[in-house]
A = this chain, B = another copy of it.
Amino acid sequence: MENDRHREDFCEVHQVHEEKVAEVKRIMLPEEKAQALAQIFKTLGDPTRIRIIFALMQGELCVCDLAEITDSSESSVSHHLRLLRTQKLVKYRREGKNLFYSLDDHHVEKLFKEGLKHVYE
């Protein structure tokens, strides 16, 4: 209580480089874009989803295929797919009892491959 050193205190020490700080703040990403950018990375930030996406990069697959490939339960895969769906990263089509999922965002593959360069450097 009573002390919030981060804004308009009586003394305002800190901030070593006021100009630099002001300039960076001026061109800073708007909050919503920072959130959105973090969100797409967060979505890619899970090993199971990584394997799902890698699998889908080879072509469309249904849920039980993905479960087998990623060695996860179908329920777990389904939850992951829902997340990917709500972010429009995958789409699906029904064929009889099966739902075939496929990638629906060309940026995903580019991000994925760019990330792989980092991993395999």
Could you mark each residue 67-85 of chain A with 1 if its beta carbon is under 8 Å from any beta carbon of chain B, else 0? 1110101100000000000
Contact A38 B45 (CB under 8 A): yes
Contact of A114 among B14, B15, B67, B114 (CB under 8 A): B114
| A118 nearest CB neighbor, chain B only | B107
Q: In the complex, which residues 96-114 of chain A have their Cβ closer than 8 Å to any Cβ of chain B?
A: 98, 105, 107-108, 110-112, 114
Number of interface residues of A (CB under 8 A): 61
A16 at the interface (CB under 8 A from B): yes
A90: shortest Cβ distance to chain B, in Å? 14
Given contacts A42-B45, A61-B24, A65-B20, contact A118 B105 (CB under 8 A): yes
- Decide: A59 and B16 in contact? CB cutoff 8 A: no
Name which residue of chain B comes closest to A95, CB basis: B16
A51 contacts the other chain (CB 8 A): yes
Q: Is the CB of A54 within 8 A of B28?
A: yes
The A39-76 residues at the B interface (CB cut-off 8 A) are: 39-47, 49-51, 54-55, 58-59, 61-62, 64-65, 67-69, 71, 73-74
List 20 contacting pairs A-B, 8 Å CB cutoff, sorted by A.
A14-B67, A16-B98, A17-B62, A20-B59, A21-B65, A21-B68, A24-B61, A25-B69, A28-B51, A28-B55, A29-B50, A34-B50, A35-B47, A37-B50, A38-B44, A39-B45, A41-B115, A45-B45, A105-B118, A114-B114
